[in-house]
Amino acid sequence: MEKENKRLAVLVGCNYPNTRNELHGCINDVLTMRDTLVNRFGFDPNRIELLTDDGSASVLPTGANIKKALDAMVDQAEPGDVLYFHYSGHGTRIPSLKPGRPFRQDEAIVPCDFNLITDVDFRQLVNRLPKGASFTILSDSCHSGGLIDREKEQIGPSHVTTEISGTLSVSYSKTKAIPFESILEHLTSLTGISTSDIATHLLELFAADASLKFRLPLLELNFFESLKPDDEGILLSGCQADETSADMMTPVITGGKACGAFSNAIEMVLKKHESPLSNREVVTLARVVLKEQGIEQHPCLYCNDENANATFLCQLAARNSSL
């Protein structure tokens, strides 16, 4: 009998409760997506790992725990498997560490303990995939465009879409960004070290659990950043690298719940279109939803040409009969 391919997921929602960075909709985002993965895309609930910071999950979304979960998912991947990572929380940009690139900014997500996970970490995960396995990352966070280092832009800053007037306003909105200066201030308060070098603080606090970007020499870092010929990374980002993403409250007429604007747009697109959609179609339609809501952010798609037109999460048409 032919072996069935695995569908594996890691879902991370960070609300940062009782802090000045508190958000409200991120945990709702991943709980909703968990149901969607099971009911629409055929994921086994036992193969979905959930990390949240509200005390309801058994594992907190620290930097080390998120990377451990992602490493475990990639380690068990085989050809044909479908891997999915959904992150909803704060994002940030940090100055590039590479000489000669003083104005370049690199992207990172901000776990609940501020142990940043960077674009280099995601590139390294994608590079470890066995040939034939796919890894889709949906990041509903600020500055998330380009979160897989060197992935090819399919829909992004150079992509032009038809302008649509906003028709459905939201009652609450907060950006999901923590400025680099605030990250540095927080880490400095923990280390007590007087330096603007973020690597020094992260290595002092997290040692071997810090991002590869801060632990590896530049020559070795270049090796980890390199692309594989059969690269299977797929990034759906909530916004462009120079933009912010919104944490919002949907209007009462559409449910009145706190959520990430991009995560909510994805759910709206999937509910409206029951048949399988390509990755390109999902991002394009999500852009339309956000524009109609008057939300100024532009979701992006980064992947190779083949995956741009591949079906989002390899949905099978036969599954629609059970919806």
- Active-site residues, by number, are 90, 142
User: CA 238 to CA 286: how far, in whole Å?
Assistant: 9
- Alpha carbon of 195 to those of 87, 91, 175, 181, 251: distances in Å? 30, 22, 27, 12, 45
Determine the Cα–Cα distance for residues 60 and 51; give it in Å rounded to an integer. 6
Q: Using alpha carbons, select from 272, 271, 279 the residue that is nearest to residue 314.
A: 279
Contact between 275 and 317 under an 8 Å Cβ cutoff? The reply is yes
Q: Give me the helices (H) in 173-237, please.
A: 180-191, 198-206, 212-215, 218-225
Alpha carbon distance 284, 114 (integer Å): 32
Closest CA to 125 of 199, 50, 12, 234: 234
Which DSSP state fits 33?
H
